[in-house]
A and B are shown apart, each in its own frame.
Chain A
Protein backbone atom coordinates (compact mmCIF):
# COMPACT_ATOMS: atom_id res chain seq x y z
CA UNK A 1 0.00 0.00 0.00
CA UNK A 2 1.20 3.45 -0.85
CA UNK A 3 1.96 5.37 2.35
CA UNK A 4 -0.42 8.29 2.88
CA UNK A 5 2.38 10.87 3.02
CA UNK A 6 2.99 10.26 -0.65
CA UNK A 7 -0.53 11.31 -1.44
CA UNK A 8 0.00 14.44 0.56
CA UNK A 9 3.15 15.19 -1.38
CA UNK A 10 1.41 14.52 -4.68
CA UNK A 11 -1.53 16.71 -3.86
CA UNK A 12 0.73 19.47 -2.58
CA UNK A 13 2.69 19.29 -5.82
CA UNK A 14 -0.45 19.51 -7.91
CA UNK A 15 -1.67 22.38 -5.78
CA UNK A 16 1.56 24.27 -6.25
CA UNK A 17 1.50 23.69 -9.98
CA UNK A 18 -1.96 25.19 -9.95
CA UNK A 19 -0.77 28.24 -8.03
CA UNK A 20 2.21 28.61 -10.32
CA UNK A 21 -0.11 28.50 -13.29
CA UNK A 22 -2.43 31.17 -12.08
CA UNK A 23 0.39 33.43 -11.02
CA UNK A 24 2.12 33.27 -14.38
CA UNK A 25 -0.74 33.10 -16.87
CA UNK A 26 -2.69 36.13 -17.89
CA UNK A 27 -5.26 34.28 -19.89
CA UNK A 28 -8.50 33.97 -17.98
CA UNK A 29 -9.12 30.47 -19.26
CA UNK A 30 -5.73 29.28 -18.13
CA UNK A 31 -6.41 30.92 -14.80
CA UNK A 32 -9.54 28.82 -14.53
CA UNK A 33 -7.70 25.68 -15.51
CA UNK A 34 -5.10 26.31 -12.84
CA UNK A 35 -7.83 26.65 -10.28
CA UNK A 36 -9.20 23.33 -11.45
CA UNK A 37 -5.80 21.83 -10.80
CA UNK A 38 -5.83 23.15 -7.27
CA UNK A 39 -9.29 21.77 -6.67
CA UNK A 40 -8.20 18.43 -7.98
CA UNK A 41 -5.27 18.47 -5.60
CA UNK A 42 -7.87 18.65 -2.87
CA UNK A 43 -9.73 15.79 -4.49
CA UNK A 44 -6.63 13.61 -4.48
CA UNK A 45 -6.30 14.13 -0.75
CA UNK A 46 -9.94 13.45 -0.12
CA UNK A 47 -10.05 10.24 -2.07
CA UNK A 48 -6.75 8.97 -0.75
CA UNK A 49 -7.59 9.61 2.86
CA UNK A 50 -11.08 8.34 2.40
CA UNK A 51 -9.37 5.05 1.58
CA UNK A 52 -6.93 5.47 4.44
CA UNK A 53 -9.60 6.11 7.04
CA UNK A 54 -11.89 3.48 5.58
CA UNK A 55 -14.98 5.61 5.05
CA UNK A 56 -16.65 7.08 2.00
CA UNK A 57 -16.99 10.59 3.31
CA UNK A 58 -14.04 11.85 1.33
CA UNK A 59 -15.12 10.18 -1.86
CA UNK A 60 -18.60 11.56 -1.64
CA UNK A 61 -17.29 14.98 -0.93
CA UNK A 62 -15.09 14.68 -3.99
CA UNK A 63 -18.18 14.28 -6.08
CA UNK A 64 -19.52 17.48 -4.57
CA UNK A 65 -16.37 19.39 -5.29
CA UNK A 66 -16.42 18.14 -8.86
CA UNK A 67 -19.97 19.30 -9.31
CA UNK A 68 -19.22 22.63 -7.75
CA UNK A 69 -16.13 23.06 -9.85
CA UNK A 70 -18.24 22.50 -12.91
CA UNK A 71 -20.78 25.02 -11.74
CA UNK A 72 -18.00 27.45 -11.00
CA UNK A 73 -16.58 27.00 -14.46
CA UNK A 74 -20.02 27.57 -15.92
CA UNK A 75 -20.36 30.89 -14.15
CA UNK A 76 -16.74 31.72 -14.85
CA UNK A 77 -17.04 31.09 -18.55
CA UNK A 78 -20.04 33.36 -18.66
CA UNK A 79 -18.04 36.11 -17.00
CA UNK A 80 -15.09 35.53 -19.28
CA UNK A 81 -17.43 35.79 -22.22
CA UNK A 82 -18.63 39.23 -21.23
CA UNK A 83 -15.06 40.14 -20.42
CA UNK A 84 -14.14 39.28 -23.98
CA UNK A 85 -16.92 41.45 -25.28
CA UNK A 86 -16.15 44.45 -23.12
CA UNK A 87 -12.38 44.37 -23.04
CA UNK A 88 -11.65 42.75 -26.40
CA UNK A 89 -9.77 39.78 -25.06
CA UNK A 90 -9.47 37.39 -22.21
CA UNK A 91 -6.32 38.84 -20.70
CA UNK A 92 -7.14 39.31 -17.03
CA UNK A 93 -4.65 42.17 -16.69
CA UNK A 94 -6.53 44.28 -19.19
CA UNK A 95 -9.39 45.03 -16.84
CA UNK A 96 -7.84 47.68 -14.62
CA UNK A 97 -10.22 50.59 -14.77
CA UNK A 98 -10.65 50.48 -11.02
CA UNK A 99 -7.72 50.56 -8.67
CA UNK A 100 -6.27 52.20 -5.54
Chain B
Protein backbone atom coordinates (compact mmCIF):
# COMPACT_ATOMS: atom_id res chain seq x y z
CA UNK B 1 0.00 0.00 0.00
CA UNK B 2 2.86 2.33 0.76
CA UNK B 3 3.75 2.24 -2.92
CA UNK B 4 0.49 3.86 -3.76
CA UNK B 5 1.16 6.62 -1.24
CA UNK B 6 4.46 7.36 -2.93
CA UNK B 7 2.85 7.46 -6.34
CA UNK B 8 0.06 9.69 -5.07
CA UNK B 9 2.56 12.03 -3.50
CA UNK B 10 4.49 12.27 -6.73
CA UNK B 11 1.30 13.07 -8.60
CA UNK B 12 0.43 15.77 -6.14
CA UNK B 13 3.85 17.35 -6.37
CA UNK B 14 3.70 17.13 -10.17
CA UNK B 15 0.47 19.05 -10.32
CA UNK B 16 1.20 21.32 -7.43
CA UNK B 17 4.57 22.62 -8.53
CA UNK B 18 3.47 24.32 -11.77
CA UNK B 19 0.35 25.61 -10.11
CA UNK B 20 2.42 27.11 -7.37
CA UNK B 21 4.82 28.70 -9.82
CA UNK B 22 2.03 30.24 -11.82
CA UNK B 23 0.46 31.53 -8.65
CA UNK B 24 3.69 33.04 -7.43
CA UNK B 25 4.42 34.75 -10.73
CA UNK B 26 0.86 36.09 -10.90
CA UNK B 27 1.34 37.64 -7.51
CA UNK B 28 4.79 39.06 -8.13
CA UNK B 29 4.75 40.39 -11.72
CA UNK B 30 3.79 43.92 -12.58
CA UNK B 31 0.74 44.02 -14.79
CA UNK B 32 1.24 46.09 -17.96
CA UNK B 33 -1.22 44.68 -20.50
CA UNK B 34 -0.54 45.27 -24.22
CA UNK B 35 -1.65 43.55 -27.42
CA UNK B 36 1.53 41.66 -28.21
CA UNK B 37 1.69 40.11 -24.80
CA UNK B 38 -1.83 38.84 -24.85
CA UNK B 39 -1.29 36.96 -28.09
CA UNK B 40 -0.84 33.20 -27.86
CA UNK B 41 2.83 32.19 -27.96
CA UNK B 42 3.51 29.87 -30.89
CA UNK B 43 7.26 29.43 -31.04
CA UNK B 44 7.74 32.71 -32.81
CA UNK B 45 5.26 31.94 -35.55
CA UNK B 46 2.25 34.03 -36.35
CA UNK B 47 -0.41 32.46 -34.20
CA UNK B 48 -3.33 33.43 -36.38
CA UNK B 49 -4.62 31.93 -39.59
CA UNK B 50 -4.90 28.30 -40.64
CA UNK B 51 -2.87 25.62 -38.89
CA UNK B 52 -1.67 24.30 -42.22
CA UNK B 53 1.07 26.83 -42.70
CA UNK B 54 4.53 25.88 -43.75
CA UNK B 55 6.65 25.89 -40.68
CA UNK B 56 10.18 27.04 -40.75
CA UNK B 57 12.40 24.11 -41.66
CA UNK B 58 14.68 24.86 -38.76
CA UNK B 59 12.14 23.58 -36.29
CA UNK B 60 12.55 20.32 -38.03
CA UNK B 61 16.28 20.30 -37.55
CA UNK B 62 16.03 21.11 -33.91
CA UNK B 63 13.32 18.53 -33.45
CA UNK B 64 15.46 15.86 -35.06
CA UNK B 65 18.45 16.75 -32.94
CA UNK B 66 16.32 16.78 -29.86
CA UNK B 67 14.77 13.47 -30.67
CA UNK B 68 18.06 11.76 -31.16
CA UNK B 69 19.79 13.21 -28.14
CA UNK B 70 16.75 12.72 -26.00
CA UNK B 71 16.57 9.06 -26.80
CA UNK B 72 20.29 8.60 -26.35
CA UNK B 73 19.89 9.70 -22.78
CA UNK B 74 17.65 6.67 -22.31
CA UNK B 75 20.71 4.56 -22.88
CA UNK B 76 22.36 6.16 -19.90
CA UNK B 77 19.58 4.81 -17.75
CA UNK B 78 20.66 1.18 -17.40
CA UNK B 79 24.15 2.37 -16.67
CA UNK B 80 22.98 4.53 -13.76
CA UNK B 81 21.00 1.61 -12.40
CA UNK B 82 24.03 -0.58 -12.01
CA UNK B 83 26.58 2.14 -11.31
CA UNK B 84 26.51 2.02 -7.53
CA UNK B 85 26.18 -1.70 -7.12
CA UNK B 86 28.97 -2.27 -9.58
CA UNK B 87 31.27 -0.08 -7.54
CA UNK B 88 30.22 -1.80 -4.38
CA UNK B 89 30.99 -5.17 -5.84
CA UNK B 90 34.53 -4.08 -6.46
CA UNK B 91 34.62 -2.97 -10.08
CA UNK B 92 37.18 -0.26 -10.54
CA UNK B 93 36.02 3.24 -11.24
CA UNK B 94 37.67 3.19 -14.65
CA UNK B 95 35.83 0.05 -15.69
CA UNK B 96 32.52 1.54 -14.80
CA UNK B 97 33.14 5.03 -16.02
CA UNK B 98 35.04 4.52 -19.26
CA UNK B 99 32.18 3.09 -21.35
CA UNK B 100 29.92 5.96 -20.48
CA UNK B 101 32.65 8.51 -21.13
CA UNK B 102 33.23 6.96 -24.53
CA UNK B 103 29.51 7.04 -25.20
CA UNK B 104 29.18 10.67 -24.18
CA UNK B 105 32.35 11.48 -26.10
CA UNK B 106 30.86 10.10 -29.31
CA UNK B 107 27.71 12.10 -28.74
CA UNK B 108 29.77 15.21 -28.13
CA UNK B 109 31.61 14.75 -31.39
CA UNK B 110 28.27 14.53 -33.13
CA UNK B 111 26.92 17.53 -31.34
CA UNK B 112 29.95 19.65 -32.10
CA UNK B 113 29.74 18.66 -35.71
CA UNK B 114 26.06 19.55 -35.86
CA UNK B 115 26.77 22.83 -34.17
CA UNK B 116 29.59 23.76 -36.47
CA UNK B 117 27.54 22.85 -39.50
CA UNK B 118 24.84 25.23 -38.42
CA UNK B 119 22.21 22.72 -37.47
CA UNK B 120 21.39 24.63 -34.31
CA UNK B 121 22.07 28.09 -35.68
CA UNK B 122 18.88 30.00 -35.97
CA UNK B 123 18.84 31.64 -39.31
CA UNK B 124 16.08 34.15 -39.77
CA UNK B 125 13.63 32.93 -42.30
CA UNK B 126 12.65 35.47 -44.96
CA UNK B 127 9.19 35.55 -43.51
CA UNK B 128 10.45 36.28 -40.02
CA UNK B 129 12.81 39.03 -41.08
CA UNK B 130 10.14 40.56 -43.24
CA UNK B 131 7.83 40.68 -40.30
CA UNK B 132 10.49 42.28 -38.18
CA UNK B 133 11.13 45.05 -40.65
CA UNK B 134 7.42 45.57 -41.04
CA UNK B 135 7.13 46.00 -37.33
CA UNK B 136 10.03 48.45 -37.28
CA UNK B 137 8.43 50.49 -39.97
CA UNK B 138 5.12 50.57 -38.24
Contacts and interface: CB of A to CB of B under 8 A. Distances in A.
- Note whether A and B form a binding pair: yes
Interface of A: 56, 60, 63-64, 66-67, 70-71, 73-74, 77-78, 81
18 contacts: A60-B78, A63-B74, A63-B75, A63-B78, A64-B75, A66-B74, A67-B71, A67-B72, A67-B75, A70-B67, A70-B71, A71-B68, A71-B71, A73-B67, A77-B60, A77-B64, A81-B57, A81-B60
Nearest to A70: B71
B77 A63 contact: yes
The 3 closest A-B pairs by CB, nearest first: A70-B71, A67-B71, A74-B64
Contacts of A81: 57, 60
A61 to B, nearest CB: 10
Please classify the interface of chain A as helix (H, G, I), strand (E, B), loop, or mixed, using the class held by over half of its residues: helix
Q: Give the most central of A60, A64, A66, A67: most B CB within 10 Å.
A: A67
A74 to B, nearest CB: 5
Interface residues on B, range: 10 to 19
Nearest to A68: B71
Nearest to B81: A56
Please classify the interface of chain B as helix (H, G, I), strand (E, B), loop, or mixed, using the class held by over half of its residues: helix
Contact of A74 (B57, B68, B74, B78): B68
A67 B74 contact: yes
A36 to B, nearest CB: 12
A66 B57 CA distance: 25
Contacts of B71: 66-67, 70-71
A63 B77 CA distance: 9
